[in-house]
Amino acid sequence: MAIAAAISLPLTSPTRCYLNITDQLRSLSSSYSSFSTCQFNFFKKDSTRICPSVRVSASASMSIQTPEKASPPTSFLDRRESGFLHFVKYHGLGNDFILVDNRNSSEPKITPEQAVKLCDRNFGIGADGVIFVMPGINGTDYTMRIFNSDGSEPEMCGNGVRCFARFIAELENLQGKQSFTVHTGAGLIVPEIQDDGQVKVDMGEPILKASDVPTRLPANKDQSVVKAGLNVDGVTWNATCVSMGNPHCVIFGSEEAQNLQVDELKLAEIGPKFEHHEMFPARTNTEFVQVFSPSHLKMRVWERGAGATLACGTGACATVVAAVLEGRAGRNCTVELPGGPLQIEWREKDNHVYMTGPAEAVFYGSVPL
């Protein structure tokens, strides 16, 4: 699969470097038909060119040329050539997504099967999922849909919604503090871009009723499942079940080891066994958590439909809720993930969970469909 991309790369100084393909691929139909040419321009943040473009030809020769002029990188997203999917790759703490501008249609531009191919890290773009920015419904500003890397469709994604918010700001050319209402499979979500570029998301109320998570584990605290025994391969784990619009099984320990050392887990072996356990009729995301203090948790996650990822926003939210229910932590915690930290607050005043963390663009690109 051939991909033409404009890449934004952080430098060691405050200057940022942009690889822009807008002006250089003026003849997209002829260039993309053979995928023989790709040209890059480097820009400062103010769009001043700081080095010549490099034109790479698929023929035996390679040449360096300087174009007559350069155009700003954001205009790349305005291209509408048929037969190509234009996208921006984003990540939230390493949980990475292909963002697609789908505002002109209520149907995704690609199928789940195409999403699987695009998410392939060897033969595609590489991502944990594809996210579509779609028209809002029921009075919301936008609708967010996701296809996981296995083609399944989750209700919501915490890291994904932060990327979604940053992508909207780019599409709409919005600056400064901004908030949106987003319709998702998990209900109404309200992300707010902060002045420092981080995104704070009102994730709504956690769902604790066992049948609504859903889990077949019997409720043992009111209608909730808290620190209940779950047998996986002969080991009885202590499971607390929480839904943030999608199901989560949170594990702090087992009967044999009350406190996990998460770095010692063989996640690729044990994760699928939780995901597909008969106690979870809709499958489940699973978080394995180590408690350092009442305000500092460390988590590794096996995501339903995506496997081991560097971060999971809804999982971090579910983890703090579970930690409070088990009496292990307070309502405001830093959750340390392999990709970096998220700040999670389960606010007692309104029972809503708030997540704050980064989202960054990685590169721009087009791919033939």
Q: Which run of H or of E encompasses 324?
A: helix 313-325
HSE at residue 359, side-chain half, CA atoms within 13 A, is 32
Give the other-Cβ count within 10 Å of 188's Cβ.
Answer: 14
Catalytic residue (one of 38, 163, 241, 312): 312
The token duo for 115 is 């999403």
Catalytic residue (one of 17, 38, 157, 241): 157
Give the other-Cβ count within 10 Å of 94's Cβ.
Answer: 14
Rounded CA separation 57/55 (Å) = 6
Q: Is 249 a catalytic residue?
A: no
Rounded CA separation 369/367 (Å) = 6
Answer yes or no: are the C-beta atoms of 345 and 353 closer than 8 Å.
Answer: yes
Expressed in angstroms, the distance from the first to the final Cα of the chain is 9
Distance of CA 36 to the CA centre of its chain: 32
DSSP 137-192: -TT-SEEEEEEETTS---S--HHHHHHHHHHHHHHTT--SSEE--EEETTEEEEEE
Q: Which of 244, 234, 153 shows the shortest CA–CA distance to 202?
A: 244
Rounded CA separation 158/363 (Å) = 21
Q: Is 51 a catalytic residue?
A: no
Output phi, psi for 307, to 5 deg: 80, -155
Active site residues: 157, 312
